[in-house]
Amino acid sequence: MFDHLSSQVQQQFNAPETIRIAIIGLGYVGLPLAVEFAKKFPVKGFDIKKSRVNELNNAFDRTLETDIGVLGSVLATSDGNGLIFTSDIQDIADCNVYIISVPTPTDHHNRPDLDLIKKASESVASVLNAGDVVIYESTVYPGVTEDICVPILERVSKLEFNTDFFAGYSPERINPGDKVHTLTNILKVTSGSTPEAADFIDNLYQTIVTAGTHKAPSIKVAEACKVIENSQRDINIAFVNELAKIFQIMGIDTHAVLEAAGTKWNFLNFKPGLVGGHCTGVDPYYLAQKAQEIGYHPEIILAGRRLNDGMGTYVALEVIKLMIKKEIPVKNSNVLVLGFTFKENCPDVRNTRVIDIVKVLSEFEACYEIYDPWADPSEVELEYRVKTFKTFDGLTGGYDAIIVAVSHKEFFSLDYSRLKKGPSSVIYDIKGILDKSIVDGRL
């Protein structure tokens, strides 16, 4: 089966006991990978952020994706065995499997920003040896691995693709904050640059993914499957967001409509809301960009993106309308925004669309305060230049309007009557978590 391969490559594919894994990027995706693989193989986790590496070496994970006890149990001991975290690229030079899981965001014009994945490829290529395998997990459009990343690996390493080294793609399916659908119990899609590499990569992931694997016929198929998963979700949410706008005009309760429609066995259960985060709010732009490059203008994908990207502004304006109807002056009003992360019970603030609500409030010269027990205030300040509070200490109270932007568990039991300035204060519930009797509006 491997007769045409060099002896070094044959050894890599045939001797799993020689596998030494490096995980490049230790965020929401990379860290869980490092922890799970460290239970089976020698693993080194690499990240350019030294503060992140220092925290992980002290068994602290600010993303809350990994339990402290589990992380501590796999950390390297004095004998050198276990998981090692580093920010020195030379520390991973003795590895032979490199898994790249760095972020792939969009720029201010919603165009794919591949700088991080390109730099990660250059870093790996600088320590790449014959027989090594490079696997990408970052979300990309079809063709990025083979058309953009592999040439970088070849150029920097001076090695020949599919002769000296091999590549694969296995899309991440991590759902931040989800403690049920975790890495090991979500079926994993795998692929490789040759049939032998595909088998090797598939077998590698089978060692940690109890839900099993699906071996795609090519790297491009694996890349495409990932990018359409979140595009499909984005379009479905855009549909119910549009319904919410229509039913608002008609005076119909959207949640009641969805509850009734949901009694049919094949009705898809999506709810209106803000669509942010590093996946659903970003991935459709990757697919749209590639489509436009090949001469096709995607209509449904971009229409869904436009509608979802505008929901924060829509919500803010709806709140302002309710305030005006109640004769509450908007300028200099006191507004409480509950939640800033992109989703509930998770500290991830990447691409949160709550910022759109805040921007509109600022434009109308309303005063606002943001309470989020999950978000890191320093991270929010650095990324968005707004102040958030993790506790009620420091909040002024007496709010003219309250916007429930994120359905954190802490918000279900709040005494909203004590937060309101008076009986006429507005409560707007984006997520539909509060009793209808106490809210003035919701999607």
Tell me the catalytic residues.
Answer: 279
Phi first, then psi: what are they for 2, rounded to 5°? Answer: -110, 20
> Whole-angstrom Cα distance, residue 244 to residue 254?
6
- Tally of CB atoms within 10 A around 339: 27
Cα dihedral value 297, 301, 306, 307, nearest 10:
140
Alpha carbon distance 369, 390 (integer Å)? 11
Please report where in the chains the tokens 């929401």 appear, as a residue: 28
Contact 164, 6 (CB under 8 A): yes
Distances (CA, A) of 313 to 320, 324, 362: 11, 17, 12
Q: What is the chain's length?
A: 443
- Interacting residues of 172 by C-beta distance below 8 A, sequence separation 6+: 29, 101, 137, 138, 139, 226
What are the strands of the beta sheet with 84-86, ordered from one edge? 84-86, 43-46, 21-24, 97-100, 133-136, 166-169
Instruction: Tell which residue, 166, 174, 36, 26, has the closest CA to residue 100.
Output: 26
Whole-number Å distance between alpha carbons of 93 and 125:
10
Residue 91 neighbours by CB distance under 10 Å: 16
- Secondary structure of residue 36 in the 3-state scheme: helix
Q: Hey, which residues does 24 pair with through a beta bridge?
A: 46, 100
Radius of gyration of the chain (CA): 24
CA distance linking residue 291 with residue 298, whole number of Å? 7
